[in-house]
Every structure is written in C-alpha cells, then in structure tokens.
Chain A
C-alpha cells in the first residue's frame, strides 16, 4: 500500500473496514467449504469455523489497528466524537472549561507580570555583558561618604571608575530613580504653555554602552557630555509617538527646557525606556550629565563629590573575571574615599575604610519596581498556583465522576471486543479536547487578567514598561499541568474498567459501583481531592481576609490629621524659574486666592504634605555631646508657609507655630514634631534649643520655637522639622546649599474646606491658574483619594487574593457538590431500602450531609494549621494584623462551611426525595 493510498485511507475508513471484513468473510467461507467437503454438515462447519476464528469484531479492530495510519484516523475519530459528546453535555463542558480557564489564566497572568517585572532583560544588545556597580534596587540620592554598601555615586567617582577600569568596554552613568529631572518643556516658537516632562541625565556614552542606534537623528555622544557643549537632548520613542504624534520635524528642532534652549538631536529606538524600570518617573528625555547645572541652577549636584546621584552600569569585556573586577572597583572606591577624608564628618571618618561595593549583573537594569512589587507578586503567584491546583482537582473530580458514569458503556464496548488501547485512547481524546478548550479560554483570561492587574496597580493613564501579552512558557506550563490532570484522571476509570472482566463490570453496571474497587479507588480519590480543595480554599480565604483587614487598618490608621474636607494640590514652581523672593509672594497670593473660594476655610503650602513622602538627612543639636558613628541622627525636613499647621488641624503641643513674622529679617527658626523632640531632646524642653544639618559647624542654625503633634509623612512616625518658606540660610557645603535653593519651590498646597462642594477641585484649579497661568499644576485631589491612591498596591493584592479565594471556594463547592451528588446517585437503591425499612427524610439528609462533612471536616482540620502558617509567611505584608488571628480564621472557616453546606444540601434534598418504591423497582 503506497503512501498515497494510506493517506486516502485516512478519509476512507469505512472502505477499509469493508475490505477487511470481506477478506475475513472469504476466509470463513473457504474454511467452511473445506469442512463440508470433509463431511461436516453445513451449519456445523460454519459454527466450527466461527469458533476457531474467535470474535470477528475484535479481529477487525486488531487488523485495522495494524495500520498505523489508521490508528491516526482512529484518534481523529475519537476527537470528533469527544467534541460531539462535549456539545451534548454543555453543563459538564462549561464547568470544566471555566475551571481550567480560571486556573490556567490566573497563573499565567501573574507569572507574566513576574517575568516582566522581575526577570526580563533590558531591550538592548547582549544584556548578559552588562554589569552594574551596586547591588540594591532601592532608591535614593545619598549625601554621605558612608553609604555602607555603595549603590549611588558622584560624578567625580564615576569619572574615576571610568578612567581607571579598562575591563569595562564602556561604563555608563545615569541619574537614579527618585528626584528625576522634572522638566517644563515647550517647543520653541509654540504658543502653548510649557508641559511637564520627565528628564534623566545620562553620560555621553550611555546609548553606546547599551549598543543602541537612533531611530531618528542621532543619540548622545561623549562630545555632547562636555562642559560648554551646546545643550542637546534625546527623546524616548514612546514620548515621540504619544506626545508629539511621531512628528519627524522634532529632530533638529529647538525646545525650551526650563527656559533653556536645547536641540533635540534624535529619537531613541522603540522599546527602549532607559536603564531603570519603574512605575512612574520614566524619562521622556535624556540630557547629558553636563546639562545638569544649567537646569538645576544653584541646586546642582554635578560637581559635589558628596552627592551620590548616579547609577553605574557598564559593558564588561568578554572573558573578564567579575570577581577580580569587583575587587578592583572596591580598591578604586577606597582610593577615591581616601582623597576626601578631610571633607568627611567625624561620624564618617572611622567608617570610610569599611565601605564595600558589589558588582551585580546589570542586564535587567535598575528596577525600583522590582523592589516594590517583589513581595506582592510572589504572594499572588502562590495564590494563583493554589487556584490552579484547586482547578486541577476539580477537573480530576469531574472526569472521574464522568468516567464512572460511563463505566457500563465502557464495559459493553470492552465486551464487544474494543481493544483496551482503543478505550483508553477514547478517554484521552475527551480529556485532551477539554484541556484545549480550557487553554484557549485560559489565554483570554490571562491577557485580560494581566491588563486588569496593571490597571489596578497603576491606574488607567500610566504607561509602565510592562507588556500584557501572556508569557508563552508559563502558558505552556499551566496547560501542561491541566492536560496531565485531564489525561491521568480521564483515563484512569477507562483503564480500570477495561482491566476488569467485562462480564463483571456489566453485572455491576446498574448497581452501586461503590463496591470493592470504589472504596479504595476512584471514590477515595474523589474524596481526597475534595479534602485538598477545602484545605487550599481555607488557606486562600484566610489570607484574603487578613490582607483585607490589613488594608482597612492601613487606610483608617491615625495619620495625625483628618483627611475629610482636605485637598492636595501638586505643583512645580521650579519649572517657571522664580527667584526665592518671588516664591514667597507667589505662595502668599495663591493662598489668598484659595481662601477667597466660598467654603474654603484655610490654605497652606509645604514642600511635603502628609503621606507624600519626605526627604531626610542627619542633624546635630547644639550643646550636646558628639554622637558616635553608629548613632541614628536621621530626621525628615520640610519647608512650610505659616498656614500649614492650621490647615491640617495639626495641634501645636508646645511653643508656637511658624508665623508671617518669621522672615528674611528675623532669626532662622524651626518647629519640630513630637517624635523629633523625643528623639533628640528626650525629656528636656526643646523650646529655645538649637540644631542644624550635619556637620557640626551648622549645629546652631535653627532655633526651635514650637513642637507640633506628629503627622504621618511617609508611612511611619518619623522625626520631622519644619522651617519657614520666607527664611533662607546659607551653607558652606555644596549639597546643603543646593538643597536650600531648590527647597523653596514648594510642591504642595493643602486646603481645608467645610461643607459639600462638588466643584471644589475645579475652583481650586482655576484659582491657582489665575495667579500664574504658566505655573505647572499636576493634580488637585481630595485627601481621601490621596490615601486610597497610596495603597493601590495593597488594594490590588488584597483584591486579587479575595478573587482567588472566591474562585477557590467556588471550585471547592462545585467539587463537593459533584462528589456528593454522585454518591447519592450511586446509593439511590440503598437509600430506597433504608426508607422502606423506616428511615425518614431527616435521617437520609443527615446521612448524606455526614458523608460530605467528613471531607469538609478533614479539609478544615488540615487547613487551619496551613492558614496559620500562611499568616506567618505573609506577616511582612500585614499591617496591624496578627498572623495568628482566630477571628479572621473563624470567619473564613464559617464562610467555607456555609458554602459547603449549600453545596451538599442540594444532593441531600434529592436523596430525601427518593421514592422508595421506585428505587427498589429499578433494582
């Protein structure tokens, strides 16, 4: 038989079958003829031949099976049959497909995010050759010679590393995450006001280090990164597309950036978003490091050796031993530190020789996002895998139940001569088609799920460097697991039945199958699966309840002020190049306008409003002994206008608040919070005492005039001091002087209003714009929105854990229902007998429920310790919730038990409705 014929046979199974049948018939008849010739009667001859021949159906099957091509055709036929069967049991199919889709989809969605956020390399050439100096993804800018483990470097240190480390083919520097260059950008000649953009200062070899070439124009070179070079900038592709409509004429055009003319020399390649992965502050423009003094003015950090504000990533020459390189970098760091010993504070001096630096793979860039979302995403992954397990257990249960229901049919097929392989193959085809349907739905769920999570985590309008397309390996993994489940549990009943003597299976077909095989085999397996589902669901539910409680605690904690009726305006006056004197007047005027709005009681401005974070540095108090190198001198600092404390209702515990009289003509004063007073003055009265930013010579800078009640600035109670907007001090230290200059451009205005004013936000916006239409305004938010926005990650995690818990619970309920219903069906005749013998309906219901609750009980018994363990495992994510939490656990258990009761009650009622006469007659 040629290949062609074999292929045509595939579509002509009937023909092939007929041919085999004819061949066999010819054989039979020839044998019979011979027998007659030998003297046998014709009927007897036929009978003898037949007997010798055995089962003709089985033989035909076997003969056809010899043809491998036909075997293939058999699978196709089985698949067609399976699809047909699934169309005719829509409830079963829908349950199975939805279950699989949820399991596969959830796991894939979460893992896609993990892969994107945590494991993905930057879209650059040979990311494996990139190594980073430093090993932490945490931000921030540092102004110390004693960072401990070094991550942020000054320009001077960068230049030293670059010049003395030939193992780096190229070493690039870029501005670290927090405190990116906020730019007000206007295309030259355009009448539109300046728009807010993010900038990032990078070294001239930045793009070369990453092996990138320009999409349009050219990228930065070392020649652009020279002091005195004409100011140039490179635009991110995404910004070019979104904000400038892919207009090719931007290349070569002049842009006013914070009032300075820059030439836009090119557009970076698509997909490249810089070397930093974060949810916000992604750069729109890249500027050379040497452009920093132009933009930052007096606040420049470029030439301050104390300011660590650069991350370093280099391309290492192939074959370099990174351990040796790390040692060399460490030596270079020490040499550099040695040259700055005279500049060090007394606290830093004993530490500089103990400073360390590590080299880590840099292919994934620097990722504050990874740092922020690591814990949460891992937690969600565990939850998703739990849901996948519950889903697989459900599929297993459904398939087992169906396999048992099909047992008589399978037995008949086996008795009629269908081969075992054929029976098992049929079951497999059914499982596989189900898994495939589930997988297709799962891809949709995964895609939608990833989008949903991104939406929940970052809001609808933020662009994040994360792609929602499902990760293929994970999808295949989840699909593989569900297929394995399908294959194993779909085939098991068919295999077991085909193993049994057909006659035995047939005999038992219409009776309860819970006989010898059932207890130990499938029924036991089904119950075990339900127990596992109950256990996992309980863990998921209790974790969800704890996270939900923790979120509520966070949102309703005491922030030190009442968010009700208070609003927050975020602005950036830095971009309009006001002088310091103009700023004082600007804020006075804005606050006046705001107070004139009907309903507004008070307005005040600050560099940092509560819950928006606060900068910290080391301070020293006058007249107190020199602290040791390990003493914690850290304090937050803030700059405010006189109305600030009153606007927030912040109580002045001692002394006075800042007033209009604290201005350029009076002595520099500060108000401190209670934590500050406790930390630096323990039981003394702090009023009248002096302190200042380290080093020692500044210790007399500010006089404390008041103590204010604590407010929450950045998530925990922190010492904070407040200085007046209207006062300026001068420092010898470059970093302090730069801070003094930029900190006068206050970022936030707080407003307190009474009554209900739906258009308050619009009125606030208008009032601020009336003062200066060019003032860059980011947002006007009610303070409750600020609070909720601040917990978006916790909210997402708690929300998704609830979702997973609910899905797990639902699936467990479906599983329990299935097993109980199946049990009732199998025991119908037994129940009939019991009722005939005098059992009443209540007895029957109790009997069925007892069986169900055994499984739930064991599941709960296993689940409670597991849930407590899970509580300990997520303890770091909890706020004000104990990992061992009887109330939460009790509620989760109660919810589970009630759901289980509902799931078991339906079949129990059905059992109670059994008509004893009918049941017995059926027997």
Chain B
C-alpha cells in the first residue's frame, strides 16, 4: 500500500510543474498550477514557500537568483536528479492513491 499525505500532493504539483517548465520562480509556479489545473487548484503562498525551502533542503530542487522578463530579481527553482526520482516515486504513489480511492468509492 502506498503512503501518501496532503503535503505530498503539494510537493507533487511543484515537482511536476518544474519538470514541465524547467526553471521557474515561486509566483510562476502558483500561476502554472492554477492554469494547468483549469483554475481548479489554488496554491496557498503560505504553504508554497515553506514547501519550496523544505524541498531545497532535501535537494530535490535547486535555486538561483535571476532576472525575470520584466527585469525583476527573483529566485528561480529547478529540478535536480534526486528531484526527478522523487517525482517518479511520488507520481506512482499518487496513482495508487487515486486508484485506491476510486475503487473504494465505486464499491460503496
């Protein structure tokens, strides 16, 4: 049985975003998740930044300061090799979870 929690789903969203878009700053991640989920998912900034720093501590992502298109200094995040592996694992776990929940709902 796969282990999964809600914190994991935020991590999954962030990791997936970075794997699709390469380098991105925090605000960009929020926008991307919002757009890509058809406005279904809103990421709380209050949760995002602690999560980003935690994942950086775990070396799933790396950061660097760079200029945005509008010439503003922002902190950009990108996936590391470890992060890529973590993404695969988290994704697999999530699939399991969804499958499990769906089976459960159908059974009822």
Q: Report which A residues bind B (CB closer than 8 A).
A: 1, 6, 19-20, 22-24, 26-27, 29-31, 33, 52-54, 58-59, 62-69
Q: When chains A and B are docked, how far (Å) is the Cα of A62 from the Cα of B70? A: 29
Q: How far is the CB of B46 from chain A (nearest CB, A)?
A: 5
- Ordered by A's residue number, 23 sampled pairs between the chains whose C-beta atoms are within 8 Å are A1-B56, A1-B57, A1-B63, A6-B57, A22-B75, A24-B45, A26-B72, A26-B73, A26-B74, A26-B75, A27-B25, A29-B72, A30-B74, A54-B45, A58-B46, A59-B46, A59-B50, A62-B49, A62-B50, A63-B50, A64-B53, A66-B54, A68-B57
Q: How far is the CB of B81 from chain A (nearest CB, A)?
A: 15
Establish whether residues A63 and B49, one from each chain, have CB atoms under 8 Å apart when the complex forms: yes
Q: When chains A and B are docked, how far (Å) is the Cα of A31 from the Cα of B45? A: 11
Contact with A along B51-83 (1 / 0, CB 8 A): 101101100000100001010111100000000
Q: When chains A and B are docked, how far (Å) is the Cα of A66 from the Cα of B70? A: 30
Complex contacts, A22 vs chain B, CB 8 Å: 73, 75
Establish whether residues B49 and A23, one from each chain, have CB atoms under 8 Å apart when the complex forms: yes
Establish whether residues B68 and A24, one from each chain, have CB atoms under 8 Å apart when the complex forms: no
Establish whether residues B27 and A65, one from each chain, have CB atoms under 8 Å apart when the complex forms: no
Q: How far is the CB of B14 from chain A (nearest CB, A)?
A: 13
Complex contacts, A66 vs chain B, CB 8 Å: 49-51, 53-54, 57
Closest to A58 in B: B46
Contact with A along B5-44 (1 / 0, CB 8 A): 0000000000000000000011100000000000000001
Establish whether residues A27 and B57, one from each chain, have CB atoms under 8 Å apart when the complex forms: no
Q: When chains A and B are docked, how far (Å) is the Cα of A62 from the Cα of B45? A: 11
Complex contacts, B50 vs chain A, CB 8 Å: 59, 62-63, 65-66
Establish whether residues A20 and B70, one from each chain, have CB atoms under 8 Å apart when the complex forms: no
Q: When chains A and B are docked, how far (Å) is the Cα of A68 from the Cα of B27? A: 24
Complex contacts, A64 vs chain B, CB 8 Å: 53
Establish whether residues A30 and B49, one from each chain, have CB atoms under 8 Å apart when the complex forms: no
Q: How far is the CB of A16 from chain B (nearest CB, A)?
A: 10
Partner of B70, one of A31, A33, A53, A65: A33
Closest to B75 in A: A23
Q: How far is the CB of A450 from chain B (nearest CB, A)?
A: 49
Partner of B46, one of A29, A31, A54, A68: A54
Complex contacts, A68 vs chain B, CB 8 Å: 57
Partner of A31, one of B27, B51, B54: B27
Complex contacts, A6 vs chain B, CB 8 Å: 57
Establish whether residues B57 and A59, one from each chain, have CB atoms under 8 Å apart when the complex forms: no
Q: How far is the CB of B50 from chain A (nearest CB, A)?
A: 4
Complex contacts, B25 vs chain A, CB 8 Å: 26-27, 30
Q: When chains A and B are docked, how far (Å) is the Cα of A66 from the Cα of B47? A: 11
Q: How far is the CB of B24 from chain A (nearest CB, A)?
A: 12
Q: When chains A and B are docked, how far (Å) is the Cα of A26 from the Cα of B27? A: 8
Complex contacts, A27 vs chain B, CB 8 Å: 25-27, 45, 74
Q: How far is the CB of A904 from chain B (nearest CB, A)?
A: 50
Q: When chains A and B are docked, how far (Å) is the Cα of A85 from the Cα of B45? A: 35
Q: How far is the CB of A149 from chain B (nearest CB, A)?
A: 66
Instruction: In the A-B complex, list the 5 residue pairs whose CB atoms are closest, starting with the nearest.
Output: A66-B53, A66-B54, A66-B50, A30-B27, A26-B74
Complex contacts, B56 vs chain A, CB 8 Å: 1
Complex contacts, B68 vs chain A, CB 8 Å: 30
Complex contacts, B27 vs chain A, CB 8 Å: 26-27, 30-31
Complex contacts, B49 vs chain A, CB 8 Å: 20, 23-24, 59, 62-63, 66
Closest to B42 in A: A52
Q: When chains A and B are docked, how far (Å) is the Cα of A62 from the Cα of B53? A: 10
Q: When chains A and B are docked, how far (Å) is the Cα of A69 from the Cα of B63? A: 18
Establish whether residues A52 and B45, one from each chain, have CB atoms under 8 Å apart when the complex forms: yes
Complex contacts, A65 vs chain B, CB 8 Å: 50
Closest to A1 in B: B56
Complex contacts, B54 vs chain A, CB 8 Å: 66-67
Q: How far is the CB of A773 from chain B (nearest CB, A)?
A: 86
With contacts A27-B45, A30-B74, A54-B44 known, what are 13 further pairs, Cβ within 8 A?
A: A1-B56, A24-B45, A26-B25, A27-B25, A30-B27, A53-B46, A59-B45, A62-B49, A64-B53, A66-B49, A66-B51, A66-B57, A67-B53
Q: When chains A and B are docked, how far (Å) is the Cα of A30 from the Cα of B45? A: 13
Q: How far is the CB of B76 from chain A (nearest CB, A)?
A: 10
Of B46, B51, B54, most buried by chain A (CB within 10 Å of CB) is: B46
Q: When chains A and B are docked, how far (Å) is the Cα of A67 from the Cα of B51? A: 10
Establish whether residues A23 and B26, one from each chain, have CB atoms under 8 Å apart when the complex forms: yes
Closest to A6 in B: B57
Q: When chains A and B are docked, how far (Å) is the Cα of A23 from the Cα of B52? A: 12
Q: How far is the CB of B27 from chain A (nearest CB, A)?
A: 4
Q: How far is the CB of A732 from chain B (nearest CB, A)?
A: 93
Complex contacts, A52 vs chain B, CB 8 Å: 45
Complex contacts, A33 vs chain B, CB 8 Å: 70
Q: How far is the CB of A11 from chain B (nearest CB, A)?
A: 18
Complex contacts, A62 vs chain B, CB 8 Å: 46, 49-50
Q: How far is the CB of A74 from chain B (nearest CB, A)?
A: 14
Complex contacts, A19 vs chain B, CB 8 Å: 75
Partner of B45, one of A53, A67, A69: A53
Q: How far is the CB of B6 from chain A (nearest CB, A)?
A: 16
Establish whether residues B53 and A30, one from each chain, have CB atoms under 8 Å apart when the complex forms: no
Q: How far is the CB of B39 from chain A (nearest CB, A)?
A: 14
Contact with A along B74-98 (1 / 0, CB 8 A): 1100000000000000000000000
Q: When chains A and B are docked, how far (Å) is the Cα of A770 from the Cα of B74? A: 104
Complex contacts, B63 vs chain A, CB 8 Å: 1
Q: When chains A and B are docked, how far (Å) is the Cα of A65 from the Cα of B57? A: 11
Closest to B25 in A: A26
User: Given A66-B53, A66-B54, A68-B57, is A23 in contact with B74 using a C-beta cutoff of 8 Å?
Assistant: yes
Q: When chains A and B are docked, how far (Å) is the Cα of A66 from the Cα of B54? A: 5
Closest to A23 in B: B75
Q: How far is the CB of B13 from chain A (nearest CB, A)?
A: 17
Q: How far is the CB of A312 from chain B (nearest CB, A)?
A: 66
Q: When chains A and B are docked, how far (Å) is the Cα of A52 from the Cα of B42? A: 11
Closest to A68 in B: B57
Closest to B57 in A: A67
Q: When chains A and B are docked, how far (Å) is the Cα of A262 from the Cα of B73? A: 96
Complex contacts, A23 vs chain B, CB 8 Å: 26, 49, 74-75
Complex contacts, A63 vs chain B, CB 8 Å: 49-50, 53
Complex contacts, A31 vs chain B, CB 8 Å: 27
Q: When chains A and B are docked, how far (Å) is the Cα of A174 from the Cα of B25? A: 86
Closest to A52 in B: B45
Q: When chains A and B are docked, how far (Å) is the Cα of A252 from the Cα of B26? A: 88
Q: How far is the CB of A29 from chain B (nearest CB, A)?
A: 7
Q: When chains A and B are docked, how far (Å) is the Cα of A65 from the Cα of B46? A: 13
Q: How far is the CB of A492 from chain B (nearest CB, A)?
A: 28
Closest to A69 in B: B57
Complex contacts, B51 vs chain A, CB 8 Å: 66
Of B27, B57, B63, B73, most buried by chain A (CB within 10 Å of CB) is: B27
Q: How far is the CB of B93 from chain A (nearest CB, A)?
A: 22
Q: How far is the CB of B26 from chain A (nearest CB, A)?
A: 5
Complex contacts, A59 vs chain B, CB 8 Å: 45-46, 49-50
Q: How far is the CB of B10 from chain A (nearest CB, A)?
A: 12
Complex contacts, A24 vs chain B, CB 8 Å: 45, 49
Q: How far is the CB of A28 from chain B (nearest CB, A)?
A: 9
Q: When chains A and B are docked, how far (Å) is the Cα of A24 from the Cα of B49? A: 8
Complex contacts, A58 vs chain B, CB 8 Å: 46
Q: How far is the CB of A210 from chain B (nearest CB, A)?
A: 59
